[in-house]
Copies of this chain bind each other. A is one copy, B any other.
Amino acid sequence: MKVAVIGLGLIGGSLLRALAAHGHHVTGFDLAPQTRQAATALARAADVPQFADPSIRPIGIKGAWHVAGTVPAAVEDADVVVLAVPLPALPGVRAELAGFPGLITDVTSVKGPVRDLMAGDRFVGGHPMAGKESSGFLDSDPHLFDDCAWVLCLEPGTTDLADWHTLARLYTSIGARVVPATADDHDRAVARISHVPHLLAAALSNLLDGNPLAGALAAGSFRDGSRVAATRAELIAAMCGGNAPAVRDVLDDVLAELTGYGTVLRSDNPVAGLTPLLRRPGELRRAWPAAAVVPAEVDLDLDALLALGRAGGWVTRAEDRLFGLRPETDRNGS
């Protein structure tokens, strides 16, 4: 399959390298000349003759890629175009793709607004649940998507699943777990497990302000709880602000929970009051990620795929039928 990746930051750059490593014909483009130069230089390194024996090639690099100088040149003979640009840049790139007959997908962290923006195009929204605090092509990693959950969107009205199927084959081929979900279900879920966690990490990091003693004492719980606050402010703001309706709802839930802890901390016996409140979150965290999974097998069928995703399952192999895993039914009924 011929794939074009537009935008070669951390995600796009990693995807370029992962697709090439798995034998796909892939062409990249980035607006920044220095990024195109870096991607070109690395492609040459991946292609040098002394690495002809795959066993001595740099890890994960089996083949090289092309770097184009413009968007039209990058997508010229592509079957699939992956838009790996930030949300605000999508309308501009979309305009440059006018008349492109192939399949378009994206990797942005919010799916409802992108679904609306791309209405009328041959488009399937996507989102790999992978990232780092760092960004840019120089931090890209061809293994970034190994065992990564990659959401591919389906909507209740979707009748033709062929394009979804094409992308499921493409991403499972590079080792990702493909999760079917509607754009709205995706946006609510990622508010819970990605966007709000970034806001909690920011609020936690702020507690070091003006308190060097706290910084000297901070250990594992602070380190991990605050880690993603080191992400660039612009990226966190774009993720959370782009998904504002879902994020504010989930944030309200968190505020209510924390306010409840605060009320108990003002009571006569805070230890006795807190203990039962902390049991359920402990159970949930110890049960994550799902240790008990069972094989799942479904037809290329809208309702079956959405049911698999809602049950916490995913696809690891896309043939005529789709094969994957889903968590064993929780006997606690949650």
Residues of A bordering B, CB below 8 Å? 129-132, 148-149, 151, 177, 179, 181, 185-186, 188-190, 192-194, 196-222, 224-234, 236-238, 240-242, 244, 247-248, 250-255, 257-259, 261-262, 265-266, 269-282, 284-286, 288-290, 309-314, 327, 330, 334
Q: B205, A285: Cβ atoms under 8 Å?
A: yes
6 tightest CB-CB pairs across the interface, nearest first? A212-B312, A241-B271, A241-B270, A237-B274, A205-B281, A233-B278
Could you tell me the distance between the alpha carbons of A289 and B255 in the complex, rounded to whole angstroms? 28
With A209-B334, A262-B248 as contacts: A221 and B194 at CB distance below 8 Å: yes
**In-complex Cβ contact of A225 among B177, B186, B224, B312 (8 A):** B224
State which of B209, B219, B259, B276 has its C-beta within 8 Å of the C-beta of A280. B209
User: Are B258 and A251 closer than 8 Å at their CB atoms?
Assistant: yes
> Pick the contact of A202 from B151, B240, B262, B281 — CB < 8 Å?
B281
Q: Are the C-beta atoms of B233 and A201 separated by less than 8 Å?
A: no
In the complex, the answer to whether A207 meets B253 with C-beta atoms within 8 Å is yes
Q: Interface of chain A, helix or strand or loop or mixed?
A: helix
Q: Judging by beta carbons under 8 Å apart, are A208 and B228 in contact? A: no
Q: Is there contact, CB below 8 Å, between A200 and B202?
A: no
Given contacts A189-B217, A193-B218, A278-B237, contact A200 B258 (CB under 8 A): yes
Which of A148, A196, A200, A234 is packed against the most chain B CB atoms within 10 Å?
Answer: A200
CA distance A170 to B151 in the complex (A): 54
Can you report 24 residue pairs joining A to B where beta carbons are below 8 Å apart?
A149-B216, A149-B219, A185-B213, A189-B217, A193-B207, A193-B215, A193-B218, A199-B261, A201-B225, A201-B285, A203-B257, A203-B261, A204-B281, A208-B288, A212-B310, A213-B309, A213-B310, A225-B228, A236-B278, A237-B274, A240-B270, A242-B271, A244-B266, A251-B262
Contact yes or no, B266 A248, CB < 8 A? yes
CA distance in complex: A262, B255 (Å): 10
- Asked whether B254 lies within 8 Å of A207 as measured between CB atoms, the reply is yes
CA distance A65 to B216 in the complex (A): 31
Cβ distance A27 to chain B, nearest Cβ, rounded Å: 28
Complex partner residue of A233 from B193, B198, B233, B275, CB under 8 angstroms = B275
Judging by beta carbons under 8 Å apart, are B290 and A215 in contact? yes
Report B-chain residues with C-beta under 8 Å of the C-beta of A276.
Answer: 233
Give chain B residues whose Cβ lies under 8 Å from the Cβ of A252.
Answer: 262
Q: Are B282 and A233 in contact (CB under 8 A)?
A: yes
13 new A-B contacts at CB < 8 Å, known A202-B257, A224-B224? A131-B219, A131-B220, A131-B221, A193-B217, A202-B277, A202-B278, A208-B284, A220-B228, A221-B227, A225-B227, A236-B274, A241-B270, A248-B265
Contacts of A151 in B (CB 8 A): 217
Contacts known (A255-B255, A274-B240); A207 close to B250, Cβ less than 8 A: yes
Asked if B244 and A265 make an inter-chain contact with CB atoms under 8 angstroms apart, the answer reads: yes
A312 and B213 in contact, given A196-B204, A221-B228, A280-B206 (Cβ under 8 angstroms): yes
Contacts of A213 in B (CB 8 A): 179, 181, 185-186, 189, 309-310, 312
Shortest Cβ distance from A263 into chain B, in angstroms?
9
Closest to A149 in B: B217
